[in-house]
Structure 1
Amino acid sequence: MEGGAMTEAWEVTRQLNGGTQKKHDTQTTTDDQPASCCCGQRCSTCFSIFMKYTVGRSLQLLFYMLDIATDVGVALTDYHNGDTIFAYITLGLVFLPGLLFSLYAITEVFSSHTGLLVCLKAPLWLLSFPLLPLWPILRDLHQIYHGVMALFPSSRTHHLECLNRPSRAYFVKFLEAFTEAAPQFLLRLYKITLRRQEMPFSHLETIEVLQLSFSLFSLATTVISTYQKNVTTNQIINGDLEDNQRFKLPCCIQIVATLWWASFLVARFEVMALFSGALKWWIFVVIGIHVVLVFLFQTVAAGKNRLKRIFIYLFSAFVFIFAYIEFNMKTRIKVAPWFPYTIYSTLVFVENSIMLVVWFLTQQNATSHFTQADKEIFTTHREYLLFIHYGSFCFGLVMMILTFCCVSKESRDTETKGEEEEMRTVLKS
């Protein structure tokens, strides 16, 4: 595993508890036979299947569709309001994940096929990119169907086998989160700041609130989902980033971790939008410096697929603008699980603070000619925005600490239970 230290801690939970869950999920049992759910509690096999594959997949499908629908709705609203540039950019970002996946698939075609197969497959992938955002929808519908049919004991084995078949549809959903939802979120906040630069975010339309909410949820849940699938760099390079859930965190830890990343993302996007609204293109300088710093911390191994590694590490450095994901960080020394997250949080905090200071100074200069009453109003609003940023960041920090505490406690409790069961087995024998 090329992931960072936190995945190692979560991997302990998977090894101690996740394997038992998978065993119960894949065997044919009666409805009243106990199985482990994601909370580590004993429950019926039907309930476990129902919550994981029916309820869980239905919610994923709903939020994924609403995320895309609100993006299209905002693009149409911008077009009717005469903001054609924002409308075209918003609509183009909807199809960007499909285009990126098509280009990735074409490289796979050229590396594994020659001759007529290349001439046939490469153009098909390129022409199919507008339809690729529908792939995760079809995958979720497939999972929901087999999840419902697996509730019946007579056909459970067959449908569980269908549920466990991997699919590369997750790669499209991953790209949708970081190349569509994240840029959409930043683009929308930037447009909102342009309305009243003296009082940013003072007016939000309903469709914008919906778009921002679903994009934020998509980003936060994708980060957690990537952890749960134990995604590594080699999987991406070899084309093995598949939709097969390797282990499952307890529900309470998933909720806490989602709050953690949602709070961090709110603070991050707010600062980037304020900075870009005041200094325009300078935001790309900040992004470029961040990408270079993160890229230099990654190991680009010489040898097979080196060029592909460089592009993937550059892409992951872009992802790290918004969130830290462990799939491509090699730890040369064994460190505590919280250590890489502390480094990343410190880097983001420093970047955010510098951008906030620069923005605050530019705003003071912009309102220097205002009356004293107006200055007080604008100053109060700016202080309110500062409070939102640091409040969200600190809340996310608390949720991060709580997540690590819960993961450590879960690992210790599960290990203790495993030792007790092993001791009872020894005594019986």
Structure 2
Amino acid sequence: MHSFMQDAPQLILQIYILARRPPQTHSENDYIITVLVQSISSLTSLMSLAWSLTSYQRTLRYAMPDKPQMSVGGSATTFLWHTFQVASRVLALALFASAHKREVFIALGGHWGLMVIWILLQRTNFCGTPDGKRNNCGEFFYNIVVGWVFTFVMINVKATATRVKYSIYYLLMAAENTTMIVLWFLLPESATHWYHLPALIGTFVCFILGLVFMFLYYRHYHPDGKMPNKNQSPKLF
């Protein structure tokens, strides 16, 4: 939650600043060094977000001794899955914000509200008491915070099958990311930037690679698919 309440918005801001950087006004070396440092900072923030998600999934399993633990391959695949998915999302948001400052808040607010409703309908019990009773007030605010996390990435907030939930979520994300990056790409002033076409391609490629690594994880590395029950074949989700 700390990562996505603080680090994710900062990452969008970092990419936004890079996108809004004016043409070279100082010496070429100073300009290149500044852009390089900002790019490295953005990449580091992205990797930090991806690792926080990977660590979260690993820690959940450590907290349940009866569950099989994630392997090194599973952790690596999960890390790449989240790296590319978050990269696609923040790139679309940052570039869209560079051209549509007010509209990006409308897009984020709409997605946030929709995710909060979705999480509320799942009837989570994260803030419940040891005897299983729900703390409705605490749970409501928890759902609001997790709804913001869902504006970037989906985490499983309830121990249920994720196939349908992931399908719905990533279809929505694909539609939103495509709309934002295409609206930015079609603006005449965007065509003047050297990254005009690479940013468009990169957004789609990162999203597809994220899905590929997600499928690889669930097909080959998901711990529940390695249960010693030989009569049960591994499931995708």
Indicate whether the TM-score tops 0.5.
Answer: yes
Which structure 2 residues correspond to residues 198-213 of structure 1 after superposition, within 5 A? 205-213=35-43
Q: Is the 8 A contact 1:298 1:330 kept in 2?
A: no
Which structure 2 residues correspond to residues 327-338 of structure 1 after superposition, within 5 A? 327=157, 329=158, 331=160, 335=161, 337-338=162-163
1:230 aligns with 2:44: no
Structure with greater Cα Rg: 1
Across the aligned residues of Structure 1 and Structure 2, the Cα RMSD in angstroms comes to 3.0
Hey, what does 1:347 align to over in structure 2?
A: 172
Could you tell me how far 1:181 is from its partner in structure 2?
Answer: 1.6
Hey, what does 2:235 align to over in structure 1?
A: none
Q: Is the 8 A contact 1:271 1:355 kept in 2?
A: yes
Q: Is the 8 A contact 1:220 1:262 kept in 2?
A: yes
Could you tell me how far 1:244 is from its partner in structure 2?
Answer: 5.4
1:188 aligns with 2:2: no
The counterpart of 1:395, out of the listed 184, 198, 209, is 209
Q: Distance in 2 between matches of 1:306 and 1:262?
A: 34
Hey, what does 1:321 align to over in structure 2?
A: 151
SS at match of 1:274: helix
The counterpart of 1:215, out of the listed 23, 45, 48, is 45
Q: Is the 8 A contact 1:259 1:396 kept in 2?
A: yes
Hey, what does 1:385 align to over in structure 2?
A: 199
Q: Distance in 1 between matches of 2:44 and 2:213?
A: 21
1:179 aligns with 2:9: no
Bigger relative contact order (CA 8 A; separation at least 6): 2
**Deviation by residue 1:362-396 (Cα, 9 ceiling, x = unmatched):** x22x37xxxxxxx6xx3874222111111111111
Hey, what does 1:306 align to over in structure 2?
A: 136
Which structure 2 residues correspond to residues 143-182 of structure 1 after superposition, within 5 A? 174-175=1-2, 177-182=3-8
**Deviation by residue 1:82-111 (Cα, 9 ceiling, x = unmatched):** xxxxxxxxxxxxxxxxxxxxxxxxxxxxxx
**Deviation by residue 1:306-365 (Cα, 9 ceiling, x = unmatched):** 1211111010000011111112x475xxx4x4332222111111000111222123x22x
TM-score computed with the length of structure 1 as normaliser: 0.45
Q: Distance in 2 between matches of 1:352 and 1:380?
A: 21
Q: Measured at CA, do residues 412 and 280 of structure 1 come closer, stay the same or move farther in structure 2, by a change above 3 Å?
A: closer
Structure 2, unpaired ranges of 5+ = 24-30, 126-132, 233-237
Q: Measured at CA, do residues 248 and 205 of structure 1 come closer, stay the same or move farther in structure 2, by a change above 3 Å?
A: farther
**Letter of the 2:112 counterpart:** V
Structure 1, unpaired ranges of 5+ = 1-173, 232-242, 368-374, 420-429
Q: Distance in 1 between matches of 2:224 and 2:231?
A: 10
Could you tell me how far 1:205 is from its partner in structure 2?
Answer: 2.5
Question: What is the percentage of aligned positions where both structures have the same residue?
Answer: 24
Task: Report how many aligned residue pairs link the two structures.
Answer: 213
Q: Is the 8 A contact 2:5 2:148 kept in 1?
A: no
TM-score computed with the length of structure 2 as normaliser: 0.78
Hey, what does 1:406 align to over in structure 2?
A: 220
